[in-house]
């Protein structure tokens, strides 16, 4: 009996490890790719894929869709088109631009899917009968590399067998920091700070109110990681849009458009009338030599908490 118990215990331990690994993998997958939920020039629709509803953007043949994406990142573009038997041996062509410059075209043959359908509006006469919902083609996926900063992408249908294509955009941040740890990069002049605690880990953030700026100095080549947390109060809900502008040696380098969200984990140390929002990540690419950066925050009536992290190995860079 003892032998059987040991065997059962090993099986339970193995099952637990598999379950933990699966949960970790699921969490990492969820964190890696985020769906772009704000675009202009296209209609938000739902598609039924494997029995689940998925958000797509319906872009008409004569339309142009634009989206704002922060880099460095990879943007995944999932495309579908209407499907009918007569659309066999046709193709879709989708052109895209980055900040007004031609980026290229994605061209793919249209293929039949296994039951993917476009979900009609609730007041449509066929809304209650999924068998009558319009069929969609199988999906094709392309990827676009997004450089540092905030960029505007546009998409335009060049060819489609139907009157539109469906697009689904997903973003994955690229973390360019090398291994070896980081240190806090402090402003050239002392400003107001706050301590933020996340999962019992305490860190000091620099505080900017609307109209304020701070100056940093860094020696490249390197990358500065910036963790930005909007000051979150009880009047806020959903996603709160705000901007950070970064100047390099007096010249505007990047404008980041960020969207703060409420955090269930982050709290201030010694301050309970508001909380820090979730951390939004941006990266400042520092070229060779010594450079001065100014970070400006201009959003009326708000405050933002900023933490700047520098790769430890970049301390060996010679200043010029």
* First-last CA distance in the chain: 75
pTM, two decimal places: 0.62
List, in order of start, the domains of the chain with CATH numbers. 34-173 (2.60.120.260), 182-316 (2.60.120.260)
Cα(187)–Cα(48) distance, integer angstroms:
51
Cα(257)–Cα(69) distance, integer angstroms:
8
Tokens of 174: 């690229």
For residue 150, what pLDDT is reported?
Answer: 82
For residue 127, what pLDDT is reported?
Answer: 86
pLDDT of the chain, 320 residues: tens digit per residue: 444 444 444 443 444 333 333 333 333 333 368 899 899 999 999 999 988 899 999 999 989 999 999 888 899 999 999 999 999 999 999 999 999 999 999 999 999 998 899 999 888 888 889 889 999 999 999 999 998 778 999 999 999 999 999 999 999 888 767 667 899 999 999 999 999 999 889 999 999 999 999 999 999 888 899 999 999 998 999 999 999 999 999 999 988 889 899 999 999 999 989 999 999 998 898 888 999 999 999 887 899 999 999 998 888 777 65
Tokens of 141: 């996926």
The residue among 274, 278, 261 whose CA lies nearest residue 233 is 274
User: For residue 219, how many other CB atoms are within 10 A of its CB?
Assistant: 18
Tokens of 251: 């010249």
Q: Please, is 166 exposed, middle or buried when counting C-beta atoms within 10 Å of its C-beta (0-12, 13-18, 19+)?
A: buried
Q: What residues contact 14, with CB distance under 8 A and at least 6 apart? A: none
Residue environment code for 265-299, b if the CB has 16+ CB neighbours within 10 A, otherwise e? ebbbeeeeebbbbbbbebbbbbeeeebebbbbbeb
């Amino acid at each position: 009996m003892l032998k059987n118990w040991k065997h059962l215990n090993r099986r339970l331990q193995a099952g637990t490890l598999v379950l933990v690994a699966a949960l970790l993998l699921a969490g990492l997958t969820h964190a890696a790719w985020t769906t772009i939920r704000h675009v202009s020039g296209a209609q938000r629709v739902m598609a039924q894929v494997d029995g689940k509803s998925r958000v797509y953007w319906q872009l008409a043949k004569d339309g142009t869709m634009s989206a704002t994406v922060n880099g460095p990142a990879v943007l995944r573009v999932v495309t579908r088109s209407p499907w009918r038997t007569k659309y066999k041996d046709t193709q879709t062509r989708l052109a895209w631009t980055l900040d007004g410059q031609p980026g290229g075209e994605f061209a793919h043959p249209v293929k039949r899917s296994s039951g993917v359908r476009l979900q009609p509006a609730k007041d449509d006469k066929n809304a209650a009968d999924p068998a009558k919902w319009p069929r969609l083609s199988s999906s094709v996926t392309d990827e676009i590399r997004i450089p540092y900063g905030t960029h505007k992408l546009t998409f335009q249908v060049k060819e489609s067998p139907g009157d539109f294509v469906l697009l689904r955009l997903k973003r994955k941040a690229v973390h360019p920091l090398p291994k070896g740890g980081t240190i806090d990069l402090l402003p050239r002049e002392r400003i107001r700070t706050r301590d933020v605690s996340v999962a019992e880990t305490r860190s000091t953030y620099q505080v900017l109110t609307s109209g304020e700026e701070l100056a940093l100095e860094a020696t490249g080549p390197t990358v500065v990681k910036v963790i930005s947390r909007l000051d979150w109060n009880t009047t806020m809900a959903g996603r709160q849009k705000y901007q950070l502008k970064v100047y390099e040696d007096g010249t505007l380098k990047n404008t980041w458009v960020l969207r703060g969200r409420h955090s269930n984990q982050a709290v201030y140390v010694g301050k309970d009338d508001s909380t820090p929002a979730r951390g939004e990540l941006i990266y400042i690419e520092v070229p060779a030599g010594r450079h001065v950066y100014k970070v400006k925050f201009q959003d009326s009536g708000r405050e933002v908490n900023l933490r700047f992290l520098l790769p430890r190995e970049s301390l060996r860079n010679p200043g010029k």
